[in-house]
Structure 1
Amino acid sequence: MHTVSTFHSAACVCARFAKSVRHQQGAVRHLTSVRAVSFDSAPVSQALRCHHPRRSPLSPAAALSPSGVANRAMASAAKDEKYDFDLFTIGGGTGGVRAARFASMDYGARVALCELPFSLVQTDTEGGLGGTCILRGCVPKKLLVYGGEFANEFKECEGYGWHIEGEITHDWKKLAERKAKQLRKLSDTYKGQLDKAGVHYIEGRATVKDKHTVSINGKDYTAKNILIATGGRALVPPIEGKELTIISDQVLDLPKKPERLAIVGGGYIAAEQACIYRNFGADVHMFFRGAHILGGFDPEAAKHTEGEFQRKGIQLKPDFSPVKVVKEKDGKLTMTAKNNKDEEITLDGIDYILMATGRKPATQGLGLDKLGVELDDKGGVKVDDFSQSNVDSIWAIGDVSNRIPLTPVARMEGTYFAQHLFGGVDIKPDYANVASVVFSSPQVAQVGVNEDKAVEEYGDVDIFTSTFSALKDSLTDNEGKGFIKVVVDAKTDKVLGIHLVGPEVAEILQGFAAAMKAGITKTQLNETVGIHPTSAEELTTLRSVTRKYRNKKEVKD
């Protein structure tokens, strides 16, 4: 399938790659034994892809070392032309698309990817390239966050001399239409990326027929390796009238702006949606089982956030869970909730009830159970450090593997999966110091461990905290306060955790998360010259210890 000139060009590349280790002849001999691979009408040389010096994850010396040879052998074993594909990816979200693109583009693997037809609300038969993050999570959520926060800007700008005459109105339909158009554009961009990478795209619902066969729309495809990247789905508790409620997919695609919204749950989805719709003027009520919201975040930061929510007018109902939902004659909903003391409260006149009560891995109906693939108690695929299941040809990344359900984590897992399986690199995801953010108003951001976990794990811990008012608010009526906490190992001076509450703290945290990844100490943080005037500089000015723990017990000076 190669022309003579193609052979000559490819041989030169491989020869240059091997020259530094005196193996030119071996490189040429290896090349002549490799045949081209075709993705539809685009032939691609495996030799050029696998051994291009700029793309190879191994240096020439490492590639020819004993371990490098073993890694290359493993990568070669991941491909087998007796199958239709070297890799078949089920799921077109961030992780699945990343894995498919890298396997094909960087390593010359023959790759196919399957995803359900496009829809902004996921069902058993509809989904769309981009997955949860692009179509019904991160991106549409952030667009609505931006939209709602304009209302606060309109109020606060008067403190700076601006005067807005007349009633400020909002066109919900226009926002919804423009948002939907942007999401479709992003989904189409994912399709373009797959095409450019030479990935064969198939639309439909996939099931795993056996350890090397995927069935879609009545047609079977064989693959040496199958990657499960189907993400997660919302969980709804079995209460009376649950069919009258909505989930996170739907709350991001409402046909009308609610006047009253009830939210069941206290996690990040609940907190974000509460602030979004409160900013748009809705009467928002949050019902949650625990004593506080944001159970996975630092308790002190979460408590501070609660105060900010209440200041905004969000009604918090701790320790209450719904038991019944009914639809009234006027079309409005009424929800009854009880606490563990059997006390009951009823809220009526509700436009929508959002069940933000958790998510579960989307493995149902894939056929994994018939293959003997081990699942955890939530239905997630159990995998090892390299994302491989107990069935050697089945792999899983992203939310479906039930590790850390964040888009950047799925992207990392997809990248490392491709590098390991097809690049022969002993690389595995590193889950230490993964930053996470709640895009509420104000935002909540954290990286590292919280105070309680630090004390339990390290024993001797120093806590530095501060509350502050943003300079921007000094000329407005905004009485909101920001919050900062730095958790430090008292023995080593290493920063163990950073927790922030305030406007745009997500942008602030990204840089400090990189510093923590590099092992920054409190002394180094203190020695960093801050940028003035900013909220971020507060992290460089904390000097007084708020609390000290020694041998896991708080001590007083």
Structure 2
Amino acid sequence: MANGDFDVDLFIIGAGSGGVRAGRIAAGYGARVMIAEESRVGGTCVIRGCVPKKLYVYASRFQDAFADAAGFGWNVPQASFHWPTLVANKETEITRLEGIYRRNLVNAGVEIVDSRAVIEGAHAVRLLATGERITAKVILIATGARPSLEPVIPGGELGLVSDQIFDVPELPRRLLVIGGGYIAVEFAGIFAGLGVETTLLHRGPRLLRGFDHDLAEGLAAAYRARGIELLLETRVARLERAGSDIAATLSDGTTRRFDQVLVATGRRPNTAGLGLESAGVATNEKGAVIVDAEGRTNVPSIYAVGDVTDHAHLTPIAIREGQAFAETVFGNRPTRVDHSLIPTAVFSTPELGTIGPSEEAARALYPALVVYRTRFRGMKATLSGRDEPVMMKILVDGATDKVVGVHIMGEAAGEMIQLVGIAVTMGATKADFDRTIAVHPTAAEELVTLRTPVA
């Protein structure tokens, strides 16, 4: 018995990014750790999220690469795409990664239980696969989030969610994507790049609510130029089966037919049926577990990390929170995660990278805001002939010269924002950017050569 009174020191529900990191670090401090996972080890990111999504993004961009090659002297034969090959190769890769995650847990001394686990009190969980009751000094909830089908659409069960779209038997000829967030935007870009006739429908006036307007509007224009149909300020009234098609009746009264419909209207914390009420764990109106700055719930022995809380639904946040939890509780090293600056990317085509507030939000925070912005064609486009825009924006607090936000649209924006994020997190000023020597010729050099503010 660990600690004399409990079966384990730490019981983790959910073997996704946050739970795995917490388990490995806690075990490294000598804790006896058990982790339960009802699906596949690796969680949303590895199995049905960012990893397969990025693989599909790569696949979707080859069509552009083949077309662009001609401007550089390459004669590329007519290319064709085989969806089953991509699906099979994706499955091979995520199976390989799941094996690595499992081995890393086992090598760290963590016991893996392939079962759904539900909470039965402040120090107890039940394994549904066996009925066994496990007691634990500390319980960590790391169950992540699941796709939401809200708002409810009559006939909505005919649509797919993001978990399912990776493995449809056939590549659809016509796809309707419902939603305006980054998941909807990314999948619209993926399938359009694979040659699918793609319609992106969003009830709001613009894509990517909360993102900088130059990113949102710039991407919308680029998507239209790429042949993606955007239906903004439009809703789906109902979905109906029409032979082999799905008929979508829209809020304007028109009816459109599609082979598949992807509902990407958001995600909800995965807390249903978890037994939180048995221990009195508090949740908010979204069903997210409420935690303090150290991840502790209102029940002192129960913590939560990652998407199951109401923090940013991003894998690096879950990992950082899992590490901080283990350092605090088992390493005697109190650690808190700073959520104020989060660099992130949207893997659309063109790609987006962002850190800090949007220009709109920054104006409310910094009365002396100074905006630097540039738009141009990337160097590769001069020979390829592709008219794909690049936009870079730097937001500066004029009172302190501190760079408070950077927003990028264009090739490799995700890679750029990761590196820029270091400087912004360290508190770099515009003068620091200005005195940095440019790397030429690159797109990123624009970030250190902008001299004239636009606002």
Q: Within 1, Cα distance between the matches of 2:230 and 2:194?
A: 18
Question: Which amino acid counterpart does residue 165 of structure 2 have in structure 1?
Answer: V
Aligned match for 1:276, one of 186, 190, 204: 190
Unaligned runs of 5+ in 2: none
Show the 5 A alignment for 1:208-219. 208-216=119-127, 217=129, 218-219=131-132
| CA distance in 2 between partners of 1:448 and 1:272 (Å) | 21
Corresponding residue number in structure 2 for 1:359: 267
Q: 1:466 & 1:384 partners in 2: Cα distance?
A: 40
> Which of 213, 231, 242 is matched with 1:317 structurally?
231
Which residue type is aligned with residue 159 of structure 1? G
Where do residues 525-536 of structure 1 align in structure 2 (5 Å cutoff)?
525-536=433-444
Partners of 1:230 and 1:539 lie apart in 2 by: 39
Displacement of 1:344 after TM fit?
Answer: 2.5
Letter in 2 for 1:392: P
Give the Cα separation in 1 of the matches to 2:291 and 2:116. 23
Shift of 1:304: 0.8
SS at match of 2:330: helix
Q: Which residue of 2 aligns with 1:85?
A: 8
Any residues of structure 2 matched to 1:427-446 within 5 Å, and which? 427-446=335-354
Letter in 1 for 2:34: A
Secondary structure of 2:81's counterpart equals coil
- Show the counterpart of 1:145: 57
Residue 544 of structure 1 pairs with residue 455 of structure 2: no
Q: Which amino acid aligns with 1:153?
A: A
Name 2:171's counterpart in structure 1: 257
2:218 aligned to 293, 304, 322, which one? 304
Counterpart Cα distance in 1 of 2:194 and 2:363: 40
SS of alignment partner, residue 380 of structure 2: helix
Q: 1:433-453 deviations in whole A, cap 9, x for unaligned?
A: 111110000001100111111
Structure 1 unmatched ranges of 5 or more: 1-36, 38-78, 117-126, 548-557
* Structure 1 counterpart of 2:407: 499
Corresponding residue for 1:266?
Answer: 180
1:103 aligned residue: 26
Asked if structure 1 preserves the Cα contact closer than 8 Å seen for 2:210 and 2:358, the reply is no
Q: Distance in 1 between matches of 2:97 and 2:303?
A: 26
1:292-349 CA-to-partner distances (Å, cap 9, x unmatched) read: 00112101221011111111000000011111111112x11110121xxxx323211x
Match of 1:13 in 2: none
Question: Could you list the per-position Cα deviations for residues 222-249 of structure 1 after superposition, in whole angstroms to 9, with x for gaps in the alignment?
Answer: 1000000000011103211111000001
Indicate the residue corresponding to 2:70 in structure 1: 158
* AA at the equivalent of 1:450: S
Separation in 2, partners of 1:477, 1:267: 30
Tell me the distance in 2 between the aligned counterparts of 1:81 and 1:427.
27
Q: What residue is the counterpart of 1:25 in the other structure?
A: none
Runs of 4+ in 1 over 3 A off after TM superposition: none
Determine the structure 2 residue equivalent to 1:396: 304
Measured after TM superposition, the shift of residue 426 of structure 1 is 2.1
Equivalence for 1:113? 35
Look up the match of 1:229: 142
Q: Which residue does 1:485 correspond to in 2?
A: 393
Higher helix share: 1
Instruction: Name the counterpart of 1:196.
Output: 107
Q: CA shift at 1:477, angstroms? A: 2.0
Aligned partners of 1:410 and 1:232: how far apart in 2? 11
- Over residues 462-481 of structure 1, what are the superposed CA-to-partner deviations in whole Å (9 max), with x where a residue is unaligned? 01111011111110120111
Give deviations 1:62-82, integer Å, cap 9, x for gaps.
xxxxxxxxxxxxxxxxx7231
**Cα distance between partner residues in 2 of 1:169 and 1:175:** 12
One-letter amino acid matched to 1:80: N
- CA distances 1:267-314 after superposition (whole Å, capped 9, x unpaired): 000110011000000111011011100112101221011111111000
| Aligned counterpart, 1:512 | 420
**Are 2:344 and 2:417, in contact at CA under 8 Å, matched by a contact in 1?**
no
Q: Deviations over 1:80-122 (max 9, x none)?
A: 23101000000000000000000002x1001000001xxxxxx
Q: 2:254 aligns with which of 345, 349, 354?
A: 345
Code of the aligned partner of 2:31: A
Query: What is the aligned-residue identity percentage?
Result: 38
> For the Cα contact (< 8 Å) 2:395–2:406, is it kept in 1?
yes
Distance in 1 of aligned mates of 2:137 and 2:452: 59
In the alignment, the residues of structure 2 paired with residue 402 and residue 128 of structure 1 have an alpha-carbon distance, to the nearest angstrom, of 23
Task: Verify the 8 A CA contact 2:69 2:76 in the aligned structure 1.
Answer: no
**Which residue is 1:180 aligned to?**
91
- Match of 1:344, SS state, is coil
* One-letter identity of the residue aligned with 1:352: Q
Q: How many residue pairs align between the two structures?
A: 452
Residue type of the partner of 2:169?
P
* AA matched with 2:30: G
2:294, 2:240 → 1: CA distance?
A: 48
Structure with the greater alpha carbon radius of gyration: 1
SS at 1:168 equivalent: coil
**Inter-partner Cα distance in structure 2 for 1:179 and 1:506:** 21
TM-score (norm 2): 0.98
SS in 1 for 2:199: strand
Alpha-carbon shift at residue 265 of structure 1 (Å): 0.3
State the Cα RMSD in Å: 1.0
